[in-house]
Structure 1
């Protein structure tokens, strides 16, 4: 083993990372610094401090990153209307660059020479954590225990924990059958019966959203106010970025909005089935496209749509800190200068419906031109004849050539 004096561990306080903490101490004989990020996972992050102390950790970092997460990562991503493979709102993917950034930052602050994470060798997260870390500190050493140890099952982890006096919650057979990841944007589920893509997910699996069938019979109406592509007010109340997402999560959850069952292509090469709940994000995507439809130039909007799949893949595959993602972000952000206004929505039994949009300063919708009534000379319909003939010229030439053959 390469000599490691101090390592910063991404630590949740759960079984996996608690075992990793002890394993690092034993295997590398190093000091471990723990880092626990509160990004809205709705778990008691404070419990991680007590568990880390029991295992002899002296430097314990627990940080509330909810506002930074939404302001610097979620909002920029939604300015692009980002969807991976046409469906996935990238709830897990977008959290990883922030965690990688703080792992490296804490390593610098504590003079650590390595970081460690609990991602497995089969998944995407190992790639996301490590690409981010190397982009921010090229000389950092990364330890990924799942690629090194022989503790290849939950049963083996429990045996190791019991043998080493590691406090863990949940005994054999008592935990959820699903592997879950949560933050303020979403919660994901993998494993269990989901490993058969033909089987329907169990209703008891879903933790955030009510079933659309059981959602209220009366719709919920909301107004979202945008400034430069970001939501700043809900129902005329000014809110911080994290509060915006928290509020939309509540509206979406109670109306059965945001469930997704998806088979996706992982970056490491395999297909994987996952289920996701993204109530607030589902509302945000629909509303953002609505305000852009009013305020963005046609060709700018179409160019954004063409670039979005590439941008989504960069985030999904862990290239948040790459020069190409940063370049795309600059284009996306510059397009949002005129994305200002208000969107009205109706939420009803799993559906997000746009029922109104307006922009006092940046609307490109001109009623005098679009009207089916008398336009008082705002648009000369006779101009359309030449426009059509010029655009048809190549088609007519092609048809004439075909006729002569």
Structure 2
């Protein structure tokens, strides 16, 4: 009888390396390691060899960067998603793509289960498993960190390191980075370890080496840099006059934003599972794109459409954060977002300076701004009669006058 096949989301770090060997041993299964290239850069070096040496029967390292930018990052930015007013959802938006590809590999390989190294306290376990439930509910999901026998064997990192040494697993685990990181095309996150103390200042001069994508704002160039972003229907399609694909846009904006110390966020957020956690994020390119897109909308989007879309931002952001990317409510909201973006076309100019993205100009062939109407001078179009404002104000004040009278009578 053929062995069971399990597709494992594999990063090559201590946890997933130990999990790979543990799964093979305890399930007597064939383990197919899968790594999504979503912009981790040099973190991918040597992963295939490492996975095979650890016991994987097959290794997939798939370049999903363009799909990530085109089908996940850009639609999310069209929606103006911002979780709890600060987080641009860099980790959250990557998980549904990873889940989608794992399902595809599982079906192609005839696997009956997928496995991941997310802990039982975090958001990622929910995101991975909701994605699989939506796309392939027939697949079993194995989450070792939620299994009592796994936690009993590995109560801490020391036991995992010892297991790796005993099984000849090539891992590097040191105290040089007393926190965990997650990197992709949109951002890099830092959490746990020394960052679990919310009073700890992650941005002070002693911790400069922690940051990867950005220089400290105080160390950024003293001269500002101007960038022009071209939009078509809410999608950024070019920078500084050069047409670009979504991946190219993100890579260039990351470079520009990183150089000027843009996109650092330090926050305490509310996890879906119920606890608060402290996260530090670098999102240089995303911060520029978010600001420029909003500026483009200010010129081209109808007021009531913007109010409607903005009222849904908290809901949309929570949907992404909580792992419901493939759920019908996200798809329904995305259809509304797509409709709202039809005229979000034109060019935005921003100034990058010492951690800031400053508006420096906007223009559009479908602009809703008419200087002849908005002018404080004489209106040559006669589109707005200032005398009409008297009745407008009087009608809007009616309920206030009635309420005031009721209050006075009550006294």
TM-score grouping bracket, smaller chain normalisation: over 0.9
Distance in 2 (CA, whole Å) between partners of 1:291 and 1:147 is 45
Q: 1:220: which partner in 2?
A: 225
Q: 1:373: which partner in 2?
A: 377
User: Which of 242, 247, 257 does residue 252 from structure 2 map onto?
Assistant: 247
TM-score, length of structure 2 as denominator length: 0.95
Q: 2:118: which partner in 1?
A: 119
| Offset from partner CA, 1:151-208 (integer Å, 9 cap, x none) | 13221111001111111134x43x4111000000000001222111112112221111
Q: 2:30: which partner in 1?
A: 31
Q: Does 1:169 align with 2:180?
A: no
Contact 2:20 2:55 in 1 (8 A): no
Q: 2:267: which partner in 1?
A: 262
Q: 1:382: which partner in 2?
A: 387
Distance in 1 (CA, whole Å) between partners of 2:405 and 2:37 is 67
Q: 1:51: which partner in 2?
A: 50
| RMSD of aligned Cα (Å) | 1.3
SS in 1 for 2:326: coil
Distance in 2 (CA, whole Å) between partners of 1:281 and 1:146 is 32
User: Which of 338, 342, 353 does residue 337 from structure 1 map onto?
Assistant: 342
Q: Tell me by how many angstroms 1:56 deviates.
A: 3.8
Cα distance change, pair 57–401 in 1 and its aligned pair in 2 (3 A): closer
SS in 1 for 2:313: helix
* Displacement over 4 Å in runs of 4+: none
Distance in 2 (CA, whole Å) between partners of 1:157 and 1:284 is 41
| Offset from partner CA, 1:51-93 (integer Å, 9 cap, x none) | 1222343322110000000100000100011111111110000
Q: 2:181: which partner in 1?
A: 180
Q: 1:234: which partner in 2?
A: 239
Contact 2:52 2:58 in 1 (8 A): no
Structure 1, unpaired ranges of 5+: none
Contact 1:4 1:113 in 2 (8 A): no
SS in 1 for 2:31: strand
Distance in 1 (CA, whole Å) between partners of 2:232 and 2:252 is 18
Contact 2:231 2:237 in 1 (8 A): yes
Distance in 1 (CA, whole Å) between partners of 2:408 and 2:55 is 86
Q: Tell me by how many angstroms 1:403 deviates.
A: 3.5
Contact 2:117 2:144 in 1 (8 A): yes
Contact 1:13 1:51 in 2 (8 A): yes
Distance in 1 (CA, whole Å) between partners of 2:229 and 2:357 is 13
Q: Tell me by how many angstroms 1:147 deviates.
A: 1.3
Structure 2, unpaired ranges of 5+: none
Contact 2:40 2:185 in 1 (8 A): yes
Q: 1:159: which partner in 2?
A: 162
Contact 2:267 2:278 in 1 (8 A): yes
TM-score, length of structure 1 as denominator length: 0.96
Distance in 1 (CA, whole Å) between partners of 2:16 and 2:199 is 32
Q: Does 1:193 align with 2:194?
A: yes
Contact 2:129 2:141 in 1 (8 A): yes
| Offset from partner CA, 1:250-282 (integer Å, 9 cap, x none) | 110010100010000111111100100000111
Q: Tell me by how many angstroms 1:397 deviates.
A: 1.8
Contact 2:21 2:55 in 1 (8 A): no
Contact 1:4 1:28 in 2 (8 A): no
Q: 1:300: which partner in 2?
A: 305
Q: 1:13: which partner in 2?
A: 12
Contact 1:261 1:275 in 2 (8 A): yes
Cα distance change, pair 268–404 in 1 and its aligned pair in 2 (3 A): closer
SS in 2 for 1:203: helix
User: Which of 216, 232, 245 does residue 211 from structure 1 map onto?
Assistant: 216
Contact 2:7 2:31 in 1 (8 A): yes
* Count of residues in Structure 1 that have an aligned counterpart in Structure 2: 400
